[in-house]
Chains A and B, each alone.
Chain A
């Protein structure tokens, strides 16, 4: 029988969260592209336009959740790709620590940016 190569344990929390976030991101990433390239055009984006969109609490919360889920999904994917490549032991722990720090920093900065866009900072 073929060996399993995936670093994900089927049924494990990481495996489950990667898929739950995937299902959410499929919809929101498509919406994000559609809204900012086809409904509104990226070259016409202004601070006022962004601020108006972010005033809508549903949109604001969707964007914050988008940031959190995308960061988790992306960084968890990178981590598992590296584990698949044979990352082990102390280096594996160091990579996990660096990636976790980078994720927390990205989410913190992203939320700060979202609050600024909403006029709350």
Chain B
């Protein structure tokens, strides 16, 4: 016999202490989704410097004439804060991917009884992948 639970509204954030694993997964998925779509708009804005770059626009950086797209991207990548934000973006993307896979499985009715465990697994794996990626993301930059 199937069993259902009425856990109340997830939108009612004031009840966060009562939230179950699935409700946290829902909230994290929403939060990471908001970050990713916000980033996509920013990403295209930054990459738009390639339009000038394609027309041969240049800018002087440290006495060197650089393509405006190259200068913009390398200028941003030279900032420690941007590198930190990139690590954060990676964490957000990895969680959204892993939890998204979990949601696709739930939609297909696979592993429903382990949906809380798979949420914890998504969190642990996100943490592990993020920590392991830190050296790569912080190469060649100083505070």
Contact = CB atoms under 8 A, between A and B. Distances in A.
A84 B51 contact: no
B116 interface: no
A109 interface: yes
B19 to A, nearest CB: 14
With most chain B CB atoms within 10 A of its CB, the pick from A30, A37, A38, A85 is A37
A72 B78 CA distance: 32
Interface string B116-142: 000000000000000001001101110
Nearest to A1: B4
Contacts of B136: 37-38, 41
A70 B108 CA distance: 22
A29 B104 CA distance: 16
By DSSP majority rule, is chain B's interface helix, strand, loop, or mixed?
A: helix
Contact of A5 (B4, B9, B36, B140): B9
Interface in B1-32: 4-7, 9-11, 30
A113 interface: yes
Interface residues of A, number: 44
B93 to A, nearest CB: 6
A116 interface: yes
B78 A117 contact: no
A84 B27 CA distance: 12
A109 B73 contact: no
A64 interface: no
Given A2-B4, A70-B37, 5 more contacts: A19-B107, A22-B100, A37-B137, A47-B50, A106-B41
Interface of B: 4-7, 9-11, 30, 33-34, 36-37, 40-41, 44, 47-48, 50-51, 53-54, 67, 69-70, 73-74, 77-78, 86, 90, 93, 97, 100-101, 103-104, 107, 133, 136-137, 139-141
Interface of A: 1-3, 5, 19, 22-23, 25-26, 29-30, 33, 37-38, 41-43, 45-48, 50-51, 67, 70-71, 74-75, 77-78, 81, 84-86, 102, 106, 109-110, 112-113, 116-117, 119, 121
| Among all A-B residue pairs, the 10 with the closest Cβ atoms | A74-B37, A43-B77, A116-B54, A47-B67, A47-B53, A47-B69, A2-B6, A46-B70, A2-B4, A116-B51
